[in-house]
Amino acid sequence: MTEGMSPQAVAQERADVLRERLKERIYASLTLLAVLVGFAQSGHPAHVAAAVSVAVTALGLWLATLVADLQAVPVAHGRWPNRHEIRHTLFTTSPLLTSAVSPLLLIGLSALGAAELTTALWISVGTEVAALAAWGFAGGRRVGAGPLGALVAAALNSVIGIGVVAVKLLAGH
């Protein structure tokens, strides 16, 4: 789709796709944080139940986003989505699915005896918050904020993730 486009237009299109994919990944991280904390504080979580919940959450987010994106085309444009738009939507929404990989790996390692499940779930929470911080740092660097500004952006993203965790802990479920 980049044939005949100027280098600036190609760069803009790539940046737009990256933005869409990252938005979906961050949204999935925030949602998974709530699920992971819920299981971690549930007392005696089961491996299968935790894995199914993480997988179904990611799948549900992906399907909801896919349906919403594809239903928006006829309303906005008065036509069905074309093949390119469908492929684009599948590509940009895929981070909603891949966000479950790390928690599922940790749950799987726990099932093999590498750690207690609750520990694996809290490590998953930590990795999700760390990922939010990393994206904040990368964004800060990308806009030229310098190392200190990037650290502030990372800290702000971490606060958002920790806020989700705190709300779940305060809700008690």
Provide the pLDDT for residue 45.
86
Question: In the prediction, which pLDDT does 1 show?
Answer: 61
pLDDT at residue 5 above 90?
no
pLDDT at 9 > cutoff 80: yes
Q: pLDDT above 70 covers what percent of the chain?
A: 98
Mean of the pLDDT values across residues 88-92?
Answer: 95
d(CA 73, CA 68): 9
Q: Which residues of 26-64 are buried (b: 16+ CB within 10 A; e: fewer)?
A: bebbbbbbbbbbbbbbeeebeeeebbebbeebbeebbee
Per-residue confidence band for 63, with pLDDT thresholds at 50, 70 and 90: very high
Task: Please state the pTM of the whole predicted model.
Answer: 0.88
Task: Count the helices and strands in the chain (H runs, E runs).
Answer: 7, 0
Residue 172 has pLDDT above 80, yes or no: no
pLDDT at 2 over 80: no
Q: DSSP code of 144?
A: T
Q: Is the pLDDT of residue 51 over 80?
A: yes
**In this model, does residue 3 exceed pLDDT 80?**
no
Q: Model confidence over 103-146: pLDDT tens digits?
A: 999 999 999 999 999 999 999 999 999 999 999 999 999 999 99
